[in-house]
Amino acid sequence: MQNSLALKYIKSHRVDPYYNLALEEYLLNNVGENEVILYLWQNKDTIVIGKNQNPWKECKVHDLEEAGGNIARRLSGGGAVFHDLGNLNFTFLMKEELYNLEKQLQVILQGIRSIGIDAEFTGRNDITVQGRKFSGNAFYFDNDKAYHHGTILINSDMNKLTKYLQVSKEKIASKGIDSVRSRVVNLSEIKRNITLEETEKALEKSFCEVYGGELELLNVSLENEEFKKLIEKYSSWQWRFGESPQFDVSFAKRFSFGGIEIGFTLKNGEIDEVTIYSDFMNTNLIDKIKTSFKGIKFNISEVIHSLDHISKDDEERTIIDEIQRWLLEKEKNF
């Protein structure tokens, strides 16, 4: 099976986040059988937020846009990240049956190690060196297709990163650190003369070595309606910012697996609309939770019980159990 895999490679030569995120989804929608794609891309001065995050709480929107930067929203979950031309983004795309996180991470780790940097995977989604993060990773599954993408900080502008990213004090405290800057590192701090081109070549080489095949340059025609509509989607106000409803009731908490804010809009005592802001990695679980709440009576006991049967997956049940215990505490004070 491994030898029959087609290893495809594509690099975007645009630094427009809406173009690049559109291309990422386009590649996902059109990935072939027995095909693994490595896509490399860069964005200029962009905050990219997770699918379920509130941009107003994750970054200084006005300051960033005043300086000519961009706000973008991706399909995957997780937290907000800053992209500039000192950062390289990678995406692995394939049919879900070929998704292999260990293998995909091995491509990154082996590539970075090959240029003399001792990288390791830690926590739920970070790649670190000397205990400091230079790569955040996120994942997305859609029917029978999947992607895994992440950042590689090579020589990013840390002043901009700390200026525009608005990380909550609660999140920082939960990690036992003093600031964003103290926990991230550019690879250029570890290896002074590292270059973007060197990093790209190292990843291409390790991709071939880990998967055991020859690399084929992927040429795609983007002169079609599907791609144009994807660019329109990613650049639209609705996708990037969405509604900012006035909630009748909202609850917020940070758990070990991420933060969550649940906002309820009520009508005649029932839950009419549900908005969930979160940096949970599992975006499908967020969708299940939203669906379970909608249309039921706004009674905390009913809200809690609506979560009883939404998943049998052990990992998801652990998260749901914690949310239910938290809401039970809310019921005592409501």
CATH number of domain containing 281: 3.30.390.50
Among residues 240, 265, 280, the one where a domain terminates is 240
CA distance 206 to 186: 21
- 116 with 92, same domain: the answer is yes
Q: Which of 265, 231, 219 is nearest to 246 (CA)?
A: 265
φ and ψ at 179, to 5 degrees? -165, 170
Please answer whether residues 177 and 121 qualify as being in contact, where contact means their C-beta atoms are separated by less than 8 angstroms.
no
Domain that holds residue 275: 249-332
The number of domains in the chain is: 2
Please answer whether residues 72 and 234 qualify as being in contact, where contact means their C-beta atoms are separated by less than 8 angstroms.
yes
Q: Is residue 1 part of a domain?
A: no
pLDDT confidence of residue 334: 56
- 212 with 65, same domain: the answer is yes
- 66 with 20, same domain: the answer is yes
- Would the pTM count as exceeding 0.75? yes
Q: What is the pLDDT along the chain (334 residues), one digit of tens a residue?
A: 445 899 999 999 999 999 999 999 999 999 999 999 999 999 999 999 999 998 888 888 889 999 999 999 999 999 899 999 999 999 999 999 999 999 999 999 999 999 999 999 987 788 999 999 999 999 999 989 999 999 999 999 999 988 888 765 544 444 443 445 558 899 999 999 999 999 999 999 999 999 999 999 998 888 899 999 999 999 999 999 876 667 888 889 999 888 999 999 999 889 999 999 999 999 999 999 999 999 999 888 999 999 999 998 999 999 999 999 999 887 666 5
- 210 with 70, same domain: the answer is yes
- 180 with 289, same domain: the answer is no
CATH number of domain containing 39: 3.30.930.10
Among residues 189, 218, 240, the one where a domain terminates is 240
Among residues 174, 206, 240, the one where a domain terminates is 240
- 172 with 276, same domain: the answer is no
Q: Is residue 142 part of a domain?
A: yes
